[in-house]
Amino acid sequence: MPKGQPEYVPQDGLTTRQRRNRPLLMVHTGPGKGKSTAAFGTAMRAWSQGWPVGVFQFVKSAKWRIGEERALRVLGDSGEGGSVTWHKMGEGWSWIQRPGSEENHAADAAEGWAQIKRDLAAERYRLYVLDEFTYPMKWGWVDVDDVVRTLAERPGTQHVIVTGRDAASELCAAADLVTEMGKVKHPMDNGQKGQRGIEW
């Protein structure tokens, strides 16, 4: 993307600097590949700025995200850049370890969201990656209105990225940036299986 100038300058009373540093709510949705990888790519930028980054992984499989988790752990521990804290279902929230009843998954997701709310209130991170967080909303495990209200009222300069298909329209309406990853062509359509180094 070219580093363009904005298409117009709003009459909002903000200075350029204030406008530049406005906290963003970003949503990566759609059926195509790249929603989460783009979020983790943004996390590299945030890390490089020295920002504390919090990742909240609302995805079940332990195999997924191992590459990103390892990379961000190495970055966070490198002594350069910012810190990286990785919250994963199945550990603190025991997404995987509990018997797989829907009630438990719902409770785990709600617990995860409660942790995010606490961290937002405490301004613990500068960038939040809420990975696959659209699903607990879609499944009714986390209340969309509560999410939208909490994010709208978050203090300070905390950027938030939500990834996953089927993002709620209320969330998109509240977001500053929405990217729809469209699947034009995907190898799985031709019988290609997911592979290491590419999918995880």
Residue from 54, 61, 108, 118 that binds a copy of itself (CB under 8 A)?
Answer: 61
Q: Does 152 bind a copy of itself (CB under 8 A)?
A: no
Shortest distance (Å) from residue 105 CB to a copy of itself: 15
Which residue of 64, 98, 117, 170 would you call a contact of a copy of itself, by CB under 8 A? 64
Instruction: For the CB of residue 28, give the shortest distance to a copy of itself in the complex, in Å.
Output: 6
Q: Distance (Å, rounded) from C-alpha 143 to C-alpha 98?
A: 22
* Smallest separation (angstroms) from a copy of itself to the CB of 114: 25
Burial 28-43 (b: 16+ CB within 10 A, else e): bbbebbebbbbbbebb
Q: Are 118 and 149 in contact (CB under 8 A)?
A: no
46: its two tokens:
């945030």
State in angstroms the smallest separation of the CB of 19 from a copy of itself.
6
Q: Among 55, 57, 66, 110, which residue sits at the site for a copy of itself (rule: CB under 8 A)?
A: 66
Question: Does 9 interact with a copy of itself (rule: CB under 8 A)?
Answer: yes
**Distance in Å from the first CA to the final CA of the chain:** 26
* Shortest CB 134 distance to a copy of itself, Å: 12
Closest among 68, 86, 90 to 199, alpha carbons compared = 68
**What's phi and psi for 160, nearest 5 deg?**
-130, 130
Whole-angstrom distance, CA of residue 25 vs CA of residue 4? 20
- Residue 112 vs 164, nearer CB to a copy of itself: 164
Residue length of the chain: 200
Contact region for a copy of itself (CB under 8 A) — 70-78, 93-101, 110-118, 146-154?
70-78
> With binding defined as CB under 8 A, does residue 20 bind a copy of itself?
yes
Complex with a copy of itself: residue 77 or 146, whichever CB lies closer? 77
Binding mask 112-151 for a copy of itself (x = CB under 8 A): --------------xx------------------------
Quick count: other Cβ atoms within 10 Å of Cβ 96?
15
Residue given tokens 């300058």 in the structure block: 9
Q: Residue 51 corresponds to which amino acid?
A: W
